Amino acid sequence: MKHWDLKVWTPKPVLKLGAFYAVLALVTGSVAAAAVAKDISPERKNELRYVLEQDCGSCHGLTLKGGLGSPLLAGKLTDRDATDLASIILDGVPGTPMPPWRPLIQPHEALWLAQILKSGDLGQ
Amino acid sequence: MKVWATSTRWSLGMKMSLTAGLVMGALVAFSASHHAAADELRGTGDMGLVVERATGSLLVVENTTRTQLARVEGLGDLSHASIVYSRDARYGYVFGRDGGLTKVDLLTAKIDARVIQAGNAIGGAISQDGRLVAVSNYEPGGVKVFDAKTLKLVADIPTGSKTVGLVDAPGNRFVFSLYDEGAIWVADMSDPHTPKITKFENVGTQPYDGLISPDGRYYIAGLFGEDGMVMLDLWNIDKGPVRILDGYGRGEEKLPVYKMPHLEGWAMANGMAFVPAIGHHEVLVVDTTTWKEVARIPSHGQPVFVMAQPDGRQVWVNFAYPLNDTIQVIDTQTQKIIKTLTPGKGVLHMEFTPRGEDVWMSVRDLDLIKVFDTATFEQLAELPGLKPSGIFFTWRSGRIGL
């Protein structure tokens, strides 16, 4: 068996990180949201980003431009409230393939996901 | 005649941000693996492509030696990518999420042709005569048909709906389902520029994928919006679609489905068809002469792919997130699960070698492709890959519906 060591290089992140907290504060303009973000450990945030890209990406596209599911690009979410998006994440959309993620994702984590989707800056 | 030799294709990661030393290391490894085959003629019968979904690349692999031969880059968004092969089994047609249709030459490991044919696509098929490649699109909804040689547009079939479950059928036909409309359309491509369409409306709610039996007779669409499937007998097409497995989950609460099942891995074995239930952790078993349900096999999670070995003796099942670290093997004679394997998180797809002695599986979260012996269940090899998903071997080239 031939091997080359792919561990030596990592795929370029699809989504780039800016000053995450600054963007978050801009988007929400609230101290409460900053608290939401702080309550989630960096490890968990990485897990959530991974789920967002890979598993949400199964239906919404790896680049979030949509598929069976709607596009989740920031430009498509400007009219949507972060709290409403969070409740869609948690409870799904009945009558569509969008499942309820409540068994796997906490409410404050869903809100954080909604906020970073709206900001368009998912971090890395 | 092309020789399996050209050596400048290992541009693998130059665009990626790595250190120069590591690039060199990888290049040396690539060259070494590639050099063995230099100056040799070869066939493609034991070759295949593995989709690396996050990086928009493909691995060219060889299942005799269980090795990678090359990487092809520049294929765009490959989430949910699938591949069919030209009838000479030299070219793979890769259907990307972003509407990209790419013709890849396995022998040179190069892109032969590529078009962006839609905004959002979901899969495709190659015609019986090998001359046409069709792609099913979400946006704009419909099917586009291309010349297999040049990828020039031959016919456009708008459906006004997300279009799924596209397969080839005998008679140079394509069959597909309309997700939003709940319809099945059959396109006769005898005259490629003017497809003759037969439409079946109101067949069921939200057909999410479709498959065709290996003999090309039965087209079956799975329904997301209902517990049931729809079957169209193409030998008796005037009879129209009929419902099978109607109400299989009646009275049971549906569980969340974190990944849509796929029906392209038609598991027809020992006179039975094995299909994933939706919202139930079960594999449903149907008698393929009566089309009645004969068993339900409780499974580890929501089945995604249910795939029969080429000999039909065993059926292999993978599962949706978050239970996607596990594979279960069903004995088709007893309809019992006889083995549970845990290859690692993110087992996305499986593929058998042409006669089924090995099974390859992509383990996305480990960045590995693992190879198992289908008789002993022992792991035989593992190959590195970047977020590998679909594995497609060239034996598909001569099979109806694949």
Domains of chain A by residue range: 37-124
Which residues of B are less than 8 Å from A63 in CB distance? 77, 98
**Chain A closest CA to B382's CA: distance in Å?**
8
Beta bridge partners of B67: B62
Confidence of residue A7 (pLDDT cuts 50, 70, 90): very low
Q: What is the arrangement of strands in the sheet containing B153-158, beginning at the earlier edge strand? A: B120-126, B132-139, B142-147, B153-158
pLDDT of residue A33: 52
What is the distance in angstroms between the CA of the first residue and the CA of the last residue of chain A?
34
Task: Provide the ipTM.
Answer: 0.77
pLDDT of residue B54: 83
Greatest mean pLDDT among A10-14, A66-70, A85-89 lies in: A85-89
Least confident of A32-41, A54-63, B93-102: A32-41
In tens, the pLDDT along B16-37 reads 444 444 444 444 444 444 444 5
DSSP B37-94: TTTB---STTEEEEEETTTTEEEEEETTTTEEEEEE------TT-EEEE-TTS-EEEE
In tens, the pLDDT along B194-238 reads 999 999 999 999 999 999 999 999 999 999 988 899 999 999 999
User: How many Å separate Cα A36 from the centre of its chain?
Assistant: 14
pLDDT of residue A10: 39
Burial classification of residue B389, based on how many CB atoms lie within 10 Å of its CB (0-12 exposed, 13-18 middle, 19 or more buried): buried
Q: Does A69 score more than 80 pLDDT?
A: yes
- A88 in reach of chain B (CB within 8 A): no
Confidence of residue B252 (pLDDT cuts 50, 70, 90): confident
Cβ distance A12 to B80 less than 8 Å, yes or no, reads: no
Rounded average pLDDT over A42-67: 90
Which residues of A are less than 8 Å from B177 in CB distance? none
pLDDT of residue B150: 97
**Chain B closest CA to A33's CA: distance in Å?**
27
In tens, the pLDDT along B295-348 reads 999 999 999 999 999 999 999 999 999 999 999 999 999 999 999 999 999 999
pLDDT of residue B361: 98
Checking phi first, is residue A79 left (phi over 0); if not, alpha (psi -120 to 50) or beta? alpha
Facing B256 at nearest CB: one of A4, A55, A100: A100
With b for 16 or more beta-carbon neighbours within 10 A and e for fewer, the B174-196 pattern comes to bbbbbbebbbbbbbebeebeebe
Confidence of residue A34 (pLDDT cuts 50, 70, 90): low
User: In Å, what is the CA distance from A37 to each residue of A23, B59, B355?
Assistant: 12, 38, 52
pLDDT of residue B265: 59
Which residues of A are less than 8 Å from B259 in CB distance? 55, 58
% of chain B surpassing 70 pLDDT: 90
Q: Does A54 score more than 90 pLDDT?
A: no
Least confident of A85-89, A120-124, B19-23, B72-76: B19-23
Task: Tell me the C-alpha distance between B231 and B200, whole Å.
Answer: 11
pLDDT of residue A19: 43
Among B177, B171, B245, B168, smallest CA distance to B214 is for: B168
Q: Does A35 score more than 80 pLDDT?
A: no
Q: Does B268 score more than 70 pLDDT?
A: yes
Cβ distance A4 to B13 less than 8 Å, yes or no, reads: no
Confidence of residue A121 (pLDDT cuts 50, 70, 90): confident
The domain A37-124 is placed in CATH, from the list 1.20.1250.20, 3.30.565.10, 3.40.50.720, 1.10.760.10, at: 1.10.760.10
Least confident of A28-32, B35-39, B77-81, B120-124: A28-32
B388: amino acid identity, one letter: P
Least confident of A83-87, B117-121, B209-213, B242-246: B117-121
Please report, to the nearest 10 degrees, the dihedral formed by the alpha carbons of residues B144, B147, B148, B152 taken in order.
-80
H helix intervals, chain A: 20-28, 31-38, 42-50, 57-60, 82-91, 107-119
